Structure 1
């Protein structure tokens, strides 16, 4: 099965994508056992985002490991936000910034933007509707929610990798690609926007 169009980020790639400089980790990754409060944190943020952006929100989903009951995770809630055009920052950036969200990553090649939350530890990922990443996020999440063996495989891999020292958190994320690809090969694709 061919691998997805993903490569490991170089230090230069990481540094270029961070708006105000990439934070250097030079440490292990903090991993927490599943916290049943994570879905409530997502719902609180989702309500705030919907109130700020209204009809511009095409899709808003809790994704990442904190969205999978029973899965260990970095204690940061990942949120997927799909807007009509993520490259049109004038249409949403001022509103989010006024509410306290901080733009931290800008990746123009796939029109990805990432924000940190104002008062909750969240990563808000913004994409346009045609991004292949949307389906990947949802497919992976939904598969892990319903396939115990793959959820455990992913958890074991994450724990092992989290114990290593990484210069950037992105290096840890890249190191998970092999097991993610293996699991994705078994997952039924989700088509979020038709």
Structure 2
């Protein structure tokens, strides 16, 4: 059971608590107009994950900006995968890697998060355990944005501004995420209030 206070708590990213398997690199952050092909791309990623993990994948869900029709986004599909125990990497890492997903990082202090990158289509696969509050937050944000076009516009503007600022200084994707975070948190707060959280 996920506690209300865990869902509504905002977490601060701390690079010192990240175990990077692949070093973070500076790359141009591109925010593009919504692509109607993203749902098909996410379904392809889900099939790849399901084929690799079978019953070990308790849930596979398209989240992030590409899951919101009409929202400008980085052309990278974000998928949340729930497994029984993210610390039991032998149960899923070799299978995901055999399917072409490359382990990027571990965040043991942030719900035992593991992140993988896929190349075809380009994707970020986030692995979590059951009843993870971050998975609930992703769903709440996605579902809210699907129903509130005014916040889609607000978030899109924040994303474009964050990308421009990050690219101007040669930053990394986590810098981009930090720049748009205040808008994400404000939207989440409205969503939480609407849900009685």
For Structure 1 versus Structure 2, the TM-score category normalised by the shorter chain is 0.7 to 0.9
Listed one character per residue, the Cα deviations across residues 45-102 of structure 1 (whole Å, up to 9, x for unaligned) are: 1112112211122111110000000000000000110111111101011111112210
1:171 corresponds to: 175
Alignment partners' CA distance in 2, 1:71 and 1:184:
16
Alignment partners' CA distance in 1, 2:161 and 2:22:
30
Query: If the length of structure 1 is used for normalisation, what is the TM-score?
Result: 0.88
1:45 to 2:55 alignment = no
Indicate the larger mover: 167-176 or 65-74: 167-176
1:35 to 2:35 alignment = yes
Alignment partners' CA distance in 2, 1:175 and 1:183:
15
- Asked whether the 8 Å contact 1:9–1:174 carries over to 2, the reply is no
SS at match of 1:105: strand
Alignment partners' CA distance in 2, 1:132 and 1:90:
24
Alignment partners' CA distance in 2, 1:138 and 1:18:
26
Alignment partners' CA distance in 1, 2:153 and 2:171:
26
Stretches of 4+ aligned residues off by more than 3 angstroms: none
**Unpaired stretches in structure 1, ≥5 consecutive residues:** 190-194
Matches within 5 A, 1:1-194: 4-10=9-15, 12-13=16-17, 16-25=18-27, 27=28, 29-109=29-109, 110-165=111-166, 166-187=170-191, 188=194
SS at match of 2:154: helix
Alignment partners' CA distance in 2, 1:185 and 1:52:
36
Listed one character per residue, the Cα deviations across residues 82-133 of structure 1 (whole Å, up to 9, x for unaligned) are: 1111111010111111122100111111210111114220000100013210
SS at match of 1:163: helix
Query: If the length of structure 2 is used for normalisation, what is the TM-score?
Result: 0.87
1:192 corresponds to: none
SS at match of 1:123: strand
SS at match of 1:100: coil
Alignment partners' CA distance in 1, 2:19 and 2:173:
13
Listed one character per residue, the Cα deviations across residues 104-163 of structure 1 (whole Å, up to 9, x for unaligned) are: 111111210111114220000100013210001000000000101111111111111111
- Asked whether the 8 Å contact 2:49–2:99 carries over to 1, the reply is no
Greater fraction helix: 2
